[in-house]
Amino acid sequence: MAWLAIIVAGAGVACAALSAWTVHVFACRNSHSASLQPPVTVLKPLSGDEPLLYENLRSFCAQDYPDFQIVFGVQSPTDAALPIVARLRSEFPALPLDVVVGSDVPGANPKVANLITMRSNARHDVLIIADSDIRVGPTYLSQVVAPFEDDRVGTVTCPYIARAAIPDFVNRLACLHINDGFLPQVLMARMLGTRNFCLGATIALRTATLTRIGGFEGLLNWVAEDYEVGARVARIGLTVELSDGLIETTTAENGVGALFVHELRWARTLRAIRPLGYAFTWLTLPVMVGFFTGALLLPSPLAPAIVFTGLTVRVLLNLQRARAFGVRPEPWLAIARDFLSFAVWLASYLGHDVVWRGQRMRLARAGELRR
């Protein structure tokens, strides 16, 4: 037990140290903008109204970029997002804002079905796919296209932080999942050499690259189409680059149950596409490492000290990440966040079903969706 405690503690310390270092390196990055600025089409799949949707969509319209188009796509002519798009079209009359309504493309992933229909309206060679809950700064497009100056780059994706659209307890927990958990893990993975994945907040690629990886049609039955794009781009010998720019996602979870179901979908998706790496992600939770190691050392008087150390490390990591990413520090809530993250991790092994926009689906191996 003592040796197992030493191994677990050592792994936990290594994860915490590497996480702190990668966040520090990211915070010290230098941002670059493209010297060449090709025309760009932004594809925006929408599904209903949501908190801060107008503000999020408007940030894409207010870009400091010479030539770009935005294509909005909805499934129904009565979609609640359409009045917001109409408001933006009246506010930016000179900007090409196109709307595509309806999609009869069969497939398990409704977002990809939407993208297939929207693509026919894209005017430009460089495509940028961005989720509806994303907010960006005015130099976003310039920073995203900058890596394409290298012909070896196949796709560009963006790191993102979370801010609560509804600043209650639940959504603060949701933000901590991304700011303290997901983003540092992404940065750690890239530092360790894993560079074959994209993040759904932004996926940029040329139309020729999209065609080479099978188009949107090849992604119709994958829950993590963002990950699949990166994996396929890497398989054809091109690179997946992480943009220097940091963008935002807005959280608007309606209660603890909704948050748990949402995070369980993410967790089971990660488990399906990266089973070995996912199995060890609990080691990135200092509170859980401290409690587990302390339990192994009982009745040694060192046990309480180990638990206290885990709590202290968690608080310090939260303070560092908040400063690096420019978000609100939540040191005491971060401790509760570790317990919730561990509960989601455990629950992810108790089934294969996920709930996505009210539909229950079954995850097959590698992340394929089945209704």
Instruction: State mean pLDDT over 180-193.
Output: 90
Pairing of strands 160-164, 247-251: parallel
pTM: 0.90
| Sequence spans of domains, the chain | 2-25+266-370, 32-159+199-254
Looking at residue 110, what is its pLDDT?
A: 81
- Shortest CA distance to 140 belongs to which of 72, 60, 85? 60
Q: At what angle do helices 169-176 and 331-347 cross, to 10 degrees?
A: 70
pLDDT of 370 higher than 70 = no
Mean pLDDT for the chain overall:
90
Tell me the per-residue pLDDT of 29-50, one tens digit each, with 9 for 90 and over: 877 666 789 999 999 999 888 8
Least confident range of 211-220, 221-230, 280-289 = 221-230
Q: Where are the alpha helices (DSSP H) in 243-347?
A: 256-273, 275-279, 286-297, 302-325, 331-347
Second-level CATH architecture of 32-159+199-254: Alpha-Beta Complex (3.90)
Phi, psi (deg, nearest 5) at residue 167: -80, 50
Q: Is 299 exposed, middle or buried (0-12, 13-18, 19+ CB in 10 A)?
A: exposed
> pLDDT tens for residues 299-323?
888 889 999 999 999 999 999 999 9
**Mean per-residue pLDDT, 146-160:** 93
Position 207 confidence tier, pLDDT thresholds 50, 70, 90: very high
Give the contacts of 216 (CB within 8 A, at least 6 positions apart): 112, 115, 116, 119, 210
Read off the pLDDT of each residue in 202-217 and give the average, rounded to a whole number: 95
pLDDT confidence bin for 367, thresholds 50/70/90: low
Question: Across the strands, what pairs with 128?
Answer: 42, 204
User: What tens digit of pLDDT does each residue of 81-122 get?
Assistant: 999 999 999 999 999 999 999 767 666 788 888 899 999 899
Distance separating alpha carbons of residues 115 and 108, to the nearest angstrom: 13
CA–CA gap between residue 164 and residue 307 (Å, rounded): 30
For residues 273 and 264, the answer to whether their CB atoms sit within 8 Å is no
Type and span of the H or E element at 2: helix 2-27
8 A C-beta contact, residue 189 and residue 274:
no
Give the model's pLDDT for residue 366: 63
In degrees and rounded to multiples of 5, residue 73 shows phi and psi of -130, 130
